[in-house]
């Protein structure tokens, strides 16, 4: 019987398996950032251990950084101290840091791929649940907690039980204006916020294969929002074309060798999955979430479910969510006014996202009373945007193009959405308070966010292009 992409990578990384217990899994790449690493470095100090393979660790500062005036000292003391601690720890333990001001700095899940540090066939971890993003390259990539960060720093290994495998195939053609973000929001709405817990998901099918690497990263990024440990996509010519020539991608003979290895990775035709799900692309509309978990979403032409339509058991949680959001059950999504538009986060802050938005807003102005923040995922994305004149388009539209970081994705740094305000956001979580205490998040694609930016409301991009 054939093996899946996941199994091929997993098998190549098992150091040993404990009887009746987990496996010791070797980790190729470890990304760290300021928020989930300080306690891990402390642990190393307490145990008197070094970082075992510093060359396999890459650090950046993203969660807790301001997105304006990055050349100035960080105003907020605790944030400043946390970012400084990362600098101190990386220096002391010999870890490469792309910190504030470095041309490679950015959101950890944006910089790994764009630098060519992320590669097919690898095991990749980071103390951040959206590490699944890197799975777009055909790697096993997943988020870990701080104790596990310490384990990987100390031993380059983790104890892991093999997850079950699910394949989600999306076949057909996407309608114009429907993006990778809509595909994944549609899948999560189908499966629910815990629907893939315990699974690793392989995304397949003609729609997935037709996506750019940026689109594939958007899809894999949100795997965790249905509870999956991670998501991955078989590497193909699109993957290789994206990787070639990246700063840390292999070159010369090493590239050729890597390429022949990568070509062996896709799941064999007779490989078996524990669960299969088929999705028809023609069922996918531009999506918007209306609730407080990413599974509470619907097509933009739809209504929020009416209470009476829902099974009895779901009503309490649904009502609580709708009440938090200040929305009514049965209400149409289209036409709902918004106050803020956030285009950014590791889900949708890559150059392709910015290009799409710029193309749509060129020559238009933001709606009155709407605040629009565009936050590039990395210094490299920011640089490309300026070189391509995208910054000018945004300026003329009245958008503010900020500096790279997680920004309003998580309500930790200075960029927060005020209480009670609606923010249409290209990020990945609409949890209560995620973007700031009592902020109301509506998740959507960059194009749907752009529509809201120029009209001040939720609208259907398909009617405008």
Partner 1 sequence: MKKIRSTAVAIPAENIDTDQIIPARFLKATSREGFGKNLFRDWRYEDDDESRPRAGFPLNNPAAKGSILVAGKNFGCGSSREHAAWAIKDYGFQVVVSSFFADIFRNNALNNFLLPVQVSDAFLERILDALDADPAAELEVDLEAQTITLPSDGSAEGFDINPYKKTCLLNGYDDIDYLVSILPEITDYEASRPTTLA
Closer to ligand SF4 at the Cβ: 62 or 214? 62
Task: For residue 158, state whether it binds ligand SF4 (rule: CB under 6 A).
Answer: no
The CB-of-463 to partner 1 minimum distance in angstroms stands at 33
* One residue of 30, 186, 366, 429 binding partner 1 per CB under 8 A: 429
From the list partner 1, ligand SF4, none, partner contacted by residue 50 (C-beta under 5 to 8 A by kind): none
Closest alpha carbon to 234 in 196, 258, 199, 202:
202
Total binding residues toward partner 1, as defined by CB under 8 A: 72
The CB-of-45 to partner 1 minimum distance in angstroms stands at 12
Task: For residue 198, state whether it binds partner 1 (rule: CB under 8 A).
Answer: yes
Total binding residues toward ligand SF4, as defined by CB under 6 A: 13
Residue 444 CA to residue 15 CA, distance in Å, equals 41
Tell me the window of 147-155, 239-247, 267-275, 405-413 that interacts with ligand SF4 (CB under 6 A).
405-413
**Interface with partner 1 in residues 318-337 (CB under 8 A):** 320
Task: For residue 180, state whether it binds partner 1 (rule: CB under 8 A).
Answer: no
* One residue of 249, 409, 447, 454 binding ligand SF4 per CB under 6 A: 409
From the list partner 1, ligand SF4, none, partner contacted by residue 359 (C-beta under 5 to 8 A by kind): none
Task: For residue 178, state whether it binds ligand SF4 (rule: CB under 6 A).
Answer: no
For 362-406, give the DSSP string: TT--PPTT-EEEE--SBHHHHHHHHHTTHHHHHHHHT-EE--SS-
For 305-317, give the DSSP string: PPGGGS-GGGHHH
* One residue of 29, 30, 119, 130 binding ligand SF4 per CB under 6 A: 130
Residue 261 near residue 139, CB atoms below 8 Å = no
Residue 26 has phi, psi (to 5 degrees) of -80, 140
Instruction: Mention every residue, 6+ apart, whose C-beta is less than 8 A from residue 275.
Output: 164, 165, 166, 167, 199
| Burial class for 257, CB neighbours closer than 10 Å (0-12, 13-18, 19+) | exposed
Closer to partner 1 at the Cβ: 254 or 464? 254
Look at the alpha carbons of 191, 193, 198, 199 in this order and tell me if their dihedral is positive or negative.
positive
Give the pairing of strands 140-143 and 157-160. Answer: unpaired
Closer to ligand SF4 at the Cβ: 123 or 428? 428
What would the x/- binding string for ligand SF4 be over residues 62 to 91, using CB under 6 A?
xx----------------------------
Instruction: Mention every residue, 6+ apart, whose C-beta is less than 8 A from residue 389.
Output: none
User: Where does residue 177 fall: left (phi above 0), alpha (psi -120 to 50 degrees), or beta otherwise?
Assistant: left
Residue 394 CA to residue 372 CA, distance in Å, equals 9
* One residue of 288, 327, 346, 452 binding ligand SF4 per CB under 6 A: 346
Residue 288 CA to residue 439 CA, distance in Å, equals 16
Task: For residue 159, state whether it binds partner 1 (rule: CB under 8 A).
Answer: yes
The CB-of-414 to partner 1 minimum distance in angstroms stands at 11
> How far is the first Cα of the chain from the last one, in angstroms, to the nearest whole number?
47
Task: For residue 128, state whether it binds ligand SF4 (rule: CB under 6 A).
Answer: yes
Task: For residue 251, state whether it binds partner 1 (rule: CB under 8 A).
Answer: no
**Interface with ligand SF4 in residues 254-273 (CB under 6 A):** none
Residue 202 near residue 234, CB atoms below 8 Å = yes
Task: For residue 443, state whether it binds ligand SF4 (rule: CB under 6 A).
Answer: no
Residue 179 has phi, psi (to 5 degrees) of -110, 175
The CB-of-317 to partner 1 minimum distance in angstroms stands at 5
Q: What is the DSSP letter of 144?
A: -
What would the x/- binding string for ligand SF4 be over residues 180 to 199, using CB under 6 A?
--------------------
Closer to partner 1 at the Cβ: 56 or 336? 56
From the list ligand SF4, partner 1, none, partner contacted by residue 155 (C-beta under 5 to 8 A by kind): partner 1
**Interface with partner 1 in residues 219-238 (CB under 8 A):** 224, 227, 229
Tell me the window of 321-329, 335-343, 406-414, 455-463 that interacts with ligand SF4 (CB under 6 A).
406-414
For 29-64, give the DSSP string: EEEEETTTSHHHHHHHHHHT---S-GGGEEEE--TT
CA 317 to chain centre: 26
Task: For residue 223, state whether it binds ligand SF4 (rule: CB under 6 A).
Answer: no
Closer to partner 1 at the Cβ: 161 or 210? 161
What is the binding site for ligand SF4 (CB under 6 A)?
62-63, 107, 109, 128, 130, 345-346, 406, 409-410, 427-428
């Amino acid at each position: 019987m054939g093996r899946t992409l996941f199994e091929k990578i997993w098998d190549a990384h098992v150091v040993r398996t404990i009887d009746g217990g987990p496996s010791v899994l070797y980790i190729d790449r470890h990304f760290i950032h300021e928020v989930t690493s300080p306690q891990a470095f402390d642990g190393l100090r307490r145990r008197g251990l070094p970082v075992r393979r510093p060359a396999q660790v890459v650090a950046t500062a993203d969660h807790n950084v301001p997105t304006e005036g990055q050349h100035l000292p960080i105003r907020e003391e605790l944030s400043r101290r946390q970012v400084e601690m990362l600098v101190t720890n990386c220096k002391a333990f010999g870890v490469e840091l792309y910190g504030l001001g470095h041309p490679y700095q950015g959101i950890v899940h944006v910089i790994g791929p764009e630098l060519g540090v992320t590669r097919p066939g690898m095991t990749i971890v980071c103390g951040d649940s959206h590490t699944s993003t890197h799975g777009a390259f055909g790697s096993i990539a997943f988020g870990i907690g701080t104790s596990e960060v310490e384990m990987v720093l100390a031993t380059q290994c983790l104890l892991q039980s093999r997850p079950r495998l699910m394949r989600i195939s999306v076949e057909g053609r996407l309608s114009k204006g429907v993006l990778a973000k809509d595909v994944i929001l549609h899948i999560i709405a189908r499966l629910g916020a815990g629907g893939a817990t315990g699974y690793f998901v392989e995304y397949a099918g003609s729609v997935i294969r037709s996506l750019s690497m940026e689109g594939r990263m958007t899809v894999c990024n949100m795997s965790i929002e249905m509870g999956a440990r991670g998501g991955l996509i078989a590497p193909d010519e699109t993957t290789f074309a994206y990787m070639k020539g990246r700063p840390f991608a292999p070159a010369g003979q090493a590239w050729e060798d890597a390429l022949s290895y990568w070509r062996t990775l896709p799941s064999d035709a007779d490989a078996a999955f524990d669960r299969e799900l088929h999705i028809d692309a023609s069922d996918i509309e531009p999506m918007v979430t209306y609730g407080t978990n990413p599974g509470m979403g619907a097509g933009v032409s739809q209504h929020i479910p009416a209470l009476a339509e829902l099974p009895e058991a779901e009503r309490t949680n649904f009502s609580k969510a709708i009440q938090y959001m200040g929305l009514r059950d049965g209400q149409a999504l289209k036409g709902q006014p918004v106050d803020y538009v956030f285009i950014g986060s590791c889900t949708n802050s890559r150059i392709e996202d910015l290009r799409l938005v710029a193309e749509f807003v060129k020559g238009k102005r933001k709606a009155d009373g709407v605040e629009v923040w565009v936050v590039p995922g990395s210094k490299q994305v920011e640089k490309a945007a300026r070189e391509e004149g995208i910054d000018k388009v945004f300026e003329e539209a009245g958008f503010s193009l900020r500096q790279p970081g997680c920004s309003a994705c998580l309500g930790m740094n200075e960029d927060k959405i005020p209480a009670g305000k609606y923010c249409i956001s290209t990020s990945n979580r609409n949890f209560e308070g995620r973007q700031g205490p009592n902020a109301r998040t509506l998740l959507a694609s960059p194009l749907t966010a752009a529509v809201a930016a120029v009209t001040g409301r939720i609208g259907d991009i398909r009617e405008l292009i």
